[in-house]
Chains A and B, each alone.
Chain A
Amino acid sequence: MAKVTVDGRVVEVPNDANALEACRAAGVDVPHFCYHPRLSIVGQCRMCMVEVEGVPKIQASCTVPVRDGMVIKASTEKALAARNATMEFLLINHPLDCPICDQAGECKLQDNAFAAGLPVSRTSEPRRQFPGYDRTPIGPHVIADMTRCIQCTRCIRFCEEITETGELTFIERGGHTIVWTHEGKALDNDLSACAADVCPVGALTTRDFRFRKRVWWLDKTRSVCDGCEIGCNISIEHRDRIVYRFLPRVAPAVNDFWMCDYGRFRSEELNRQDFLKPEIRVAGGDAERRQTNWGEALDAVKAAIEKDPSKVRVIGSAFLTTEEAWLLAALCKDSLKVGSPEFTVDIGPKRRIRNKVDGWIYGSEAAPNSRGCEAAGLTRTSSLSSSSPAVLYISDASFSEKCKDPAFVAGLRQASVLIVHARTRNALTDAADIVLPVAPLSGKEGTFVNAKGLVQRIDTAIVSPPVVRTDLEVLLNLGARWNAFDTQWTARDVFEKMQASVAGYAGLAWDSDALVGNPPSISPAAAYDVLGLERDPGVEVFSRPSVTAPDRLP
């Protein structure tokens, strides 16, 4: 550790920290653009200028490695004048289009202009234009507008150093520098939208979110992506019951600052308004299904099960929270006496995410919580047995993609009574006798266990319409019919009841940081603000990565 004095305050920082990080650790916020804790140091934006005692010239603090005993003066007249200067240079060509720019409100240029800029403009020259490089998609998810770019190269470094796909580059030179894809390439990799996250300004924005909502109206709820078992921490960003976007929430041991495009753009799924309603088919298989109320629906479930509990089969789903899975298992074991429920999970396309602890981590299951389900007492099967029980209870009907396949559904339909929890309509819900509509991710509360065995909490972003219940509520109400559960239990109550018996949950506190993770950041480009001082010690301080010398002879 090195002892460093910043504006009279003494802080201890790791030996490999730089002066900018020392300032941040001392609570002196030095504005910056190109610095990012997970990207290499390039010292290009020249915003983080400070004075260092004993060094005559002003220094870009991110490029100055700390030394024990170093004295940094971050707020001298000279330092402030230097930052004013850089702000002025950045703004002379920046379009004043904040009113129509999606980044407004979470823009580092705006923030730093307020913090370090001057309220006057001294230029009267025409502003730079980039015809042909404005408002143009550069990949499936990202739209680029070079008039707003401040050439910080964060996006270029992201593609070189994090995804290692290298789609982006500088084109041209000097004041004409354009950040674009290499000729004939698209910004198309599995994490491509993160390039828009790291962009401090509105030069890169995502197609899906563009022009949809001013960011300051968005409510942010902590959640976990349910796209695969990696369990990237996310912020569900919503307003008036509409989900506008997912953003990654900083989780150094999981998704770090990133999330994959597949997971990110699942957000739109949460806006489906085709909610199901509780429905039952009373007589035999041929009668029409009719809408009903929850009381009647659950009574019907109980009646069907009680006819012959020995012939009941229950299938869970890795989309259940651990709390829900535990309720399902407890109900089966203690009340229905049908043995433990099974579940299966689709093996989907491989997903991956990178953090500095593990490097790349991979996910291959198409649901978030198979580990939690197992811990809660569900039995994992690779294929569902084809025995046809009298009653088949499935929670929920989206447990597998196969539930859209009529042939597969026909197999399940062999049961005399088919009961399903369902988030959305599919072939299986069409075939069911009793449909119990349940909330999607944004309406749920509980915990998932990810691929690394970490227990992570999700919060309710949007309370679903009254006709839709969470799986937790449904199971509690059903269990209450056998006097097994209390309908007033919350997810937290269930969490605390099951803790002792569920592997990996003992000793965890519902409200602990370990469970809830970091708060959503105000600006995705400065998401590391929530971490304070933290930089990857493996990131080289200088220049771009080097290759070995080519073996060339004349």
Chain B
Amino acid sequence: MSGLSPAPPVLLARIGKPNSVSLDSYVADGGYASWKKVLEGVKGGEWTPAKVTDMVKASGLRGRGGAGFPCGMKWTFVPTKEKRGDKPVYLLCNADESEPGTFKDRLLIEKDPHQILEGMMLASFALDVKHAYIYIRGEMVHGAEILDKAVAEAHEKGFLGTDVLGSGVDLTITVHRGAGAYICGEETALIESLEGKRGHPRIKPPFPAVSGAWGCPTVVNNVETLSCVKHIVDRGAEWFKGVGRNEKNTGPKLYCVSGHVEKPGVYEAPTGIPWEELLALAGGVRGGRKLKAVIPGGSSAPMLTAAEIAGVPMDFDGLVAAKSMFGSAGIIVMDETTDIPKAVTNIAKFYAHESCGQCTPCREGTPWLLKMLRRIVNGEGKKSDLDLLLQISNQMGNGMTICVFSDAAIAPVISGITKFRGEFEAYIEKSTKPEFEQKAPTDLTNEIADRKAAGIHS
């Protein structure tokens, strides 16, 4: 059986049903059966935390939040009880979804909250978590209300609390609202924010699995990742592994397709669906126009030209091979009418606005990129600008900063300029800036070598 053959939706199965947010309707559709099954099997030793973890490991589930890290492996980084002593383990559900082009978590939150909760319950069981948190983006007021209600209902019905269903397992879930900062989706910034501090990413190591919230071992997982956990326990790891392109790209996946397509929206498909099939699901390019470029994994992913994306399997490894990334599966489709310099400027504006401001290259670099791009699209570009933009970008990534926000910020700029340089040059040709200001940028490589030779650098 091909892992890519279309199948009825799993993650989205209950979306569109009347009152899908209520616990009763969830239970009526077979919800919380896995949670009950596991809890009932605790005393007899039929279900152990290790068994759940092993299932998740075997399923090949990779994180749906952006990095695509194998979920089961992340869970095994949590120190054992002997090593961590009295310290509790925390599970944080990352519901901060703010990556431009991404809107799958919001759908799950607003339409099927109990699916997420059940996933969290099972993950908490696997990780020996007594208190789990959902960190939800500040702007998702409606979603927060729904989650609050769902958690209260689950407590009321005894799916949460102390000694849940007589199993001896304790679990509380708290919904925590963020204040609407994109960076708080980065897991360590999320932890800082949850602790009540500014959302500043932390230096890693230590990774959250070792020292996270309040200095305790902490697992951060995306909404969709946790929702998948529920279905893995429901249907087994083999089923999950059977869906998807190959061993490393498994399971049903939510694709957020936006931009110039006929039917933008969230689509569920096996991980690794070929680009053309996905585009077809979304009704093809708007108005029968020609495809120009695609941002395949949220705004942080380098954009691909129509030629580059042809035939690419839309999954973690497929997009890495195409020199981009799967990220949050936020797929932004741009047709031939798109003005790439303006699109890049728009994205640069987002990153300049959202940088947390800790690291010098990101704090200073993101607004610098924006100022230059704005100048270019406003008709005041200089010939030297494009090379300078690329040089600045290269000074911002690859370890220059605490978190990878900075790497994300430069991806659209670098890919946009290298792949659509002509469009930028067309703006600059029409520039009103005087010629004498259009000199070439200083070649810094020689400069450094010269100064080193002169003994100026140690």
Contacts and interface: CB of A to CB of B under 8 A. Distances in A.
Contact of B457 (A57, A86, A116): A116
A49 interface: yes
Given A41-B203, A150-B360, A77 B198 contact: no
A80 B457 contact: yes
Given A173-B181, A174-B352, A89 B395 contact: yes
A542 B202 contact: yes
A220 to B, nearest CB: 26
A538 interface: no
B448 interface: yes
Contact of A542 (B151, B206, B368, B441): B206
Interface stretch (A119-127, A244-252, A262-270): A119-127
A118 B444 contact: yes
B367 A174 contact: yes
Given A58-B399, A77-B448, A173-B357, A125 B206 contact: no
Nearest to A27: B458
Interface string A109-148: 0000001101010111110100000000000000000000
Interface stretch (B53-61, B170-178, B302-310): B170-178
B401 interface: yes
A505 B192 CA distance: 52
B372 A122 contact: no
- Nearest 6 Cβ contacts at the A-B interface: A57-B399, A85-B395, A177-B357, A174-B355, A89-B364, A175-B367
26 contacts: A42-B203, A44-B359, A46-B360, A75-B457, A77-B452, A81-B445, A82-B395, A84-B448, A85-B361, A85-B395, A88-B395, A89-B361, A90-B364, A120-B442, A122-B388, A125-B368, A174-B352, A174-B354, A175-B352, A175-B363, A542-B206, A542-B211, A546-B214, A547-B196, A554-B152, A554-B174
B175 A58 contact: no
Contacts of A115: 457-458
B203 A554 contact: no
A78 to B, nearest CB: 10
Nearest to B194: A549
Interface in B198-218: 198, 202-203, 206, 211, 213-216
Number of contact residues on A: which range applies?
35 or more
Number of contact residues on B: which range applies?
35 or more
B367 A44 contact: no
A424 B388 CA distance: 65
A544 interface: yes
B375 A125 contact: yes
Nearest to A542: B203
Nearest to B362: A174
Contacts of B372: 125
B214 A548 contact: yes
Interface in A25-66: 28-29, 41-47, 49, 56-59, 63
Given A80-B452, A554-B155, A175 B172 contact: no
A177 B203 contact: no
Contact of B441 (A47, A81, A122): A122
A96 interface: no
B92 interface: no
Given A75-B458, A122-B442, A174-B367, A43 B203 contact: yes
B363 A80 contact: no
B448 A81 contact: yes
Contact of B400 (A49, A541, A544): A49
Interface string A269-309: 00000000000000000000000000000000000000000
A554 B175 contact: yes
B174 A552 contact: yes
A151 interface: yes
Contacts of A82: 395, 400
A381 interface: no
Nearest to B188: A543
Interface string B277-305: 00000000000000000000000000000
A47 B360 contact: yes
B449 A174 contact: no
B214 A549 contact: yes
B214 A554 contact: no
A173 B395 contact: no
Interface of A: 28-29, 41-47, 49, 56-59, 63, 74-75, 77, 80-82, 84-86, 88-90, 92-93, 115-116, 118, 120, 122-126, 128, 150-151, 169-170, 172-177, 541-544, 546-549, 552-554
A209 to B, nearest CB: 28
Contact of A174 (B172, B356, B457): B356
A81 B359 contact: no
A172 to B, nearest CB: 8
A92 B364 contact: yes
Interface in B390-440: 395-396, 398-402, 437
A124 B361 CA distance: 17
Give the residue among A80, A82, A115, A174 with the most B Cβ atoms within 10 A.
Answer: A174
Contacts of B235: none
A80 B448 contact: yes
Given A44-B359, A81-B444, A128-B367, 17 more contacts: A41-B203, A45-B359, A58-B400, A81-B395, A81-B445, A81-B448, A89-B364, A122-B441, A174-B356, A174-B362, A174-B367, A177-B363, A543-B203, A548-B214, A549-B214, A554-B151, A554-B155
B366 interface: yes
A503 B266 CA distance: 84
A541 B206 CA distance: 10
B155 to A, nearest CB: 7
Given A58-B400, A85-B400, A174 B353 contact: yes
B66 to A, nearest CB: 18
A46 B402 CA distance: 8
Nearest to A56: B399
A89 B368 CA distance: 9
